[in-house]
Amino acid sequence: MTKLSVNLNKVALIRNSRGADYPNLVNVALDCERFGADGITIHPRPDERHAKYMDVATLKAAIHSELNIEGYPDKKFIETILNNRPHQVTLVPDEPGQLTSDHGWNTIKQESFLKDVIQTLKTSGARVSLFCDPDNKMVDGAKSCGADRIELYTGPYSWNYGKHRESAIQDYVTAAKHAHAIGLGINAGHDLNLENLKYFKENIPFLDEVSIGHALICDAIYLGLENTIRMYQKLLNDVL
């Protein structure tokens, strides 16, 4: 089974746009679980333009599945993790104000920094995943840093899927096999959708989890949230 973690940042963005608590993030998270999601992801950024740091504690107290918190490990992020102890932390190399995550860590150049951060975060009991490009050197670096998993950044795969899907996925297959061989778990995320997810899952061995937000919420506008989550699970695990 490959777990589906639903990223609720876009739901939080809608909530924030009116300065009220509607839609309520906890209610949506609980509905996602009820509809078949295996986990919930949020990515609080420094400007809190969508998910807020306070959402971490609220979701941790309410949901029944795994909580995955993504973000750049600055002081506030690390304190939030240590205080709330989510099940998984996914570290991304976002600059302040960055629109969205668009590359993986350079786990070689930033090894010392990442080692210290991961060691600190693991005291919370969280599993630590590093956002990573499909490059075996970067995968090796993630292992050296002490990560438990990598999250393969799937933007380039998604952009090139419609042109030549066989070549678009090849580096991901190689990286996934290598990660598994050296003892790393494998997550994936960014721009995965109803069109390209099935092919990705069929070709990537040992895929533990995907985190999907933007595409899933966009699909839900037309298809409904329950139906959309079930469609994604069907592509991942052939279950309704």
Known catalytic residue at 43: yes
Known catalytic residue at 164: no
| Residue 49 DSSP symbol | S
The catalytic residue among 33, 151, 178, 190 is 190
Residues 6+ apart with CB under 8 A from 2: 201, 207, 208, 209, 210, 236, 237
Determine the Cα–Cα distance for residues 162 and 199; give it in Å rounded to an integer.
12
CA pseudo-torsion sign 9, 92, 128, 158: positive
Helix (H, G, I), strand (E, B) or coil at 239: coil
The catalytic residue among 70, 151, 178, 209 is 70
Two tokens, residue 170: 């090849």
Cα atoms in the 13 Å half-sphere on the side-chain side of 201:
22
CA distances from residue 103 to 16, 62, 89, 153, 155 in whole angstroms, order as listed:
27, 32, 17, 7, 8
Q: Which amino acid, 167?
A: S
The catalytic residue among 43, 151, 178, 209 is 43
Beta carbons of 88 and 63 less than 8 angstroms apart: no
Region of residue 190 (left: phi > 0; alpha: psi -120 to 50; beta: else): left
DSSP bridge partners of 91: 71, 130
Residues labelled as active-site residues: 43, 70, 190
